[in-house]
Every structure is written in C-alpha cells, then in structure tokens.
Amino acid sequence: MDLVFIIGAGNAQITSNPIINLAIVYLPLALLILYGQRLQVWLITNDLSKTVGRLKEMKDRSRQETIDHITEGIDNKEETIKRLDSFLEYFTIMPVDLDPAGVINKLDHIMTSRDIRMKSEIKQLFPDLDKLKANSVENVIEIATSFNFVYKIVRHFYLVGKKTNNFIILAQLQMIIPFLMLQADALSQAMTTFKKNQPVGDAIGPMIVGKLMLEHEKHDIAVDTIYAESDISGRKAILVTAKGPVGTVGQPGNAVQELIQKENPSLLIMIDAALRLEGEKTGEVAEGVGAAIGGIGVDKFKIEEAATNNNIPVYAIIVKQTIVEAISVMTKEIAESVDSVHDIIHRIIDERTKPNDKVIIVGVGNTIGVIQ
C-alpha cells in the first residue's frame, strides 16, 4: 500500500483501482527497465536479419549475373563456375605499415601483382575473348567479389552480435548498415553498366580529356595509359588518360612522373569525378588546387611527389556526383559538364601560363565505354 501511495503522489494513476494501475502502467515500466535492452537487441536483430537476407539476395543475384555473363557461349560451364567461386574468395593482404617508410612502393607492388594475376587468370580461362569482353568479365567479377566481401563482413558482425547478445555490436552494425546498403545498391547498378560497356559517372575525366585527344596521335606511356600532344592557346598540351574503351583507370601516377621528367611542364591540371555532399547538385563543376585522384593513394603519392620535386603547381577540376552515380551509367547532368570543363581548362591555361609553355592535362577515372 505504501508503494501505491508513493506512485499515486506522482499523479500517474489511470484508474482509482491500484491493481489495474499496477498492471497497466507500472508493471510494463518495470519490465522495460529490467528487460529494455533485451527488447532492443531483439528488435535490432530482427531488423538486421532482414537486411542481411536482402544483402544475401543481392550477392546471389550478382553471382548468377556474373555466371550468365561469363559463361555465354562456353561449353565447359561447370569448370568455369568452379573457378568463378574461387575468384569470389580472392583476397589482398595489405603491406605492414608499422614502419611507413616505403609503404607506397610495397602497396604499388601488391596491387600491380593482383591486377596482373587477375588478368592472366581470366586470359587463361577465356583465351578466345577479345580485350573489351575480357575486361568486361574482369570488371563484373570484381563487382561480384566486392558484393561477396560486403555480405560476409556484415554477416560476421551480425552473427557475433547475435551469438554474444551484444547490444553495442548490433547497434553499431545497425547504424552503419544504411551506408553499406547504399554501396551494395551502387554495386548492383554497376553490374549492368559494366556488362554493357556503358560509360559510368567516373568516366567523365577520361571523356573530357579524350575529346581533346581526338585526331591526335596517341602513345603508350604506362600500363593501360596513353598520352597525346596538342596545342591549346599556343601552349603545348600533353593530354594523359587511361586507354579506353575498356574499363580501366590505368596508371596515371607512373605516366605523370615520366612526363614531368621528360617535358618539365609549367602546370599540371587534373580532372576527376568527385563525391558530392548532400545538397550539392550532380554535374556541378568546381575548381581547386591539389592532385584530384582517388584510389588507395599510390598514384596520388607519385603525382604529388613529382610535382613537389619539380615545383609544378597542380590545379584540380572536379565534376560532382554521388557514389552510386560514379559507378553506374553516366547521367545527363554529368555528361553535359564536358563543355564547361573545357572552358575552364582554356581559361586556366590562358591565365596561368605563357605562350610556348608546356601543360600536362590528366583525365582521371575509369574509361569504360570511352574511346580516345
């Protein structure tokens, strides 16, 4: 009766009957205090199980799409599927960075070895494929591998959280899941685009520089990377980009390093796609300073080092887009930024260089579906 009296003093009575009050208000309250976290764990687990199921569906669909794409017109399908499943489990061990000096060279070596191995295995598996189709197969397998990786990581934390009833692990996973699902959605859309060799949003850099390269002689400068020489406003423009129309980003770092040594330019202009912030418009063009290039940092390091050692200013032009737009078919807003970027290139060259100067212009990005 004392309890009822104290609670009643807080004006939390629903009825005048204290037993009913206890059942309706105070019993659930006590249960929530005691078992609230367990209830939250149950709700989050329930929610996550649906997301993990959706990711599994997406991963299985991507595997099936990859199988359909690579086994088209092939007799020995079973052996190919077996090899594909081993591709999906491929991993790359990053170099030790306890002593960071020289880590870029090690990273470069590991990533180059990975690319060479992937290409040679695909060549071995499909010896009759032309370069465009072989590259399409490589890209599609990479997408399926990424899907597999994302799914396995999410499933791991989901199962660990569930097994140990750990609210913190589950809550953290639940918080990060929307962003992972965005990535998964982007990968799902990328699959179709890469199968059809359509240009993706990230191809805007190679497309802008590729247009300037048309009707000029192209030379190989690094793996999957070409350059051409042109005249812009009386300056020697050295145009660099990955070699299309296959889906590759090339090695702009090696190319720029070599060209800086050879040509000693007075300016370096880099054009790339960049992730936009929410609220910004897709296809918006912005200018800045610095090496406009993504990836794991090997190419960026090489370009920055070469530019710094030779005291060459690096100007950046970016075309804004989301992660989904960067790896799925190029949207109209992005495609229509080509002319405005050309205008900016001309303006920068006119304002920042003198006649007869040399300028390196690099179109950074995946050159899928774009011929130079």
As measured in angstroms, the least distance from the Cβ of 75 to other proteins is 23
Angle at 244 between CA 243 and CA 249, to 5 degrees: 60
Q: Which residues of 306-336 are buried (b: 16+ CB within 10 A; e: fewer)?
A: bbeeeebebbbbbbbbbbbbbbbbbeebbbe
Distance CA 129, CA 125 (A): 9
Is residue 197 a contact residue for other proteins (CB under 8 A)? Answer: yes
Is position 370 an interface residue for other proteins (rule: CB under 8 A)? Answer: yes
Give φ, ψ of 318 to 5 degrees: -120, 150
CB of 207 to other proteins, least distance (A): 6
- 85, 336, 343, 350: which one contacts other proteins (CB under 8 A)? 336
- What are the backbone dihedrals phi and psi of residue 11, each rounded to the nearest 5 degrees, phi first? 55, 35
Residue nearer to other proteins on the CB measure, 47 or 220? 47
| Nearest CB to other proteins, comparing residues 54 and 82 | 54
Report how far apart, in Å, the C-alpha atoms of 154 and of each of 47, 83, 161, 301 are. 13, 24, 11, 32
CB of 367 to other proteins, least distance (A): 9
Cβ closer to other proteins: 56 or 106? Answer: 56
User: Interface with other proteins includes 371 (CB under 8 A)?
Assistant: yes
Task: Return the residue of 65, 115, 121, 185 that touches other proteins, per CB under 8 A.
Answer: 185
329 binds other proteins (CB under 8 A): yes
Stretch that binds other proteins, among 174-182, 229-237, 297-305, 346-354 (CB under 8 A): 174-182
Token pair 């990005």 is found at: 365
- Regarding 230 and contact with other proteins (CB under 8 A), the answer is no
Tell me the per-residue interface mask from 280 to 319 with other proteins, x by CB under 8 A, - otherwise: ----------------------------------------
- Report how far residue 302's alpha carbon sits from residue 315's, in angstroms, rounded to the nearest whole number: 16
135 near other proteins, rule: CB under 8 A? no
Closest CA to 311 of 358, 255, 265: 265
38 binds other proteins (CB under 8 A): no
365 binds other proteins (CB under 8 A): no
Q: Tell me, what DSSP letter sits at residue 203? A: G
Q: Which of 245, 252, 265, 365 binds other proteins (CB under 8 A)?
A: 245
DSSP run (H or E) holding 152: helix 131-164
**Residue 331 binding other proteins, by CB under 8 A:** yes
List, in order, residues 6 or more apart from 67 with CB less than 8 Å away: 77, 80, 81, 84
Nearer to other proteins, 43 or 160 (CB): 43
Nearest-angstrom CA–CA distance, 118 and 100: 27
- Please, what is the minimum distance in Å from the beta carbon of residue 98 to other proteins? 35
Which tokens in the block code for residue 302?
């090489």
Binding of residue 334 to other proteins (CB under 8 A):
yes
Total residues belonging to the chain: 372
The binding site for other proteins (CB under 8 A) comprises 43-44, 46-47, 50, 174-175, 177-179, 181-182, 185, 189, 196-199, 203, 207, 210-211, 214, 244-245, 328-332, 334-336, 338, 369-372
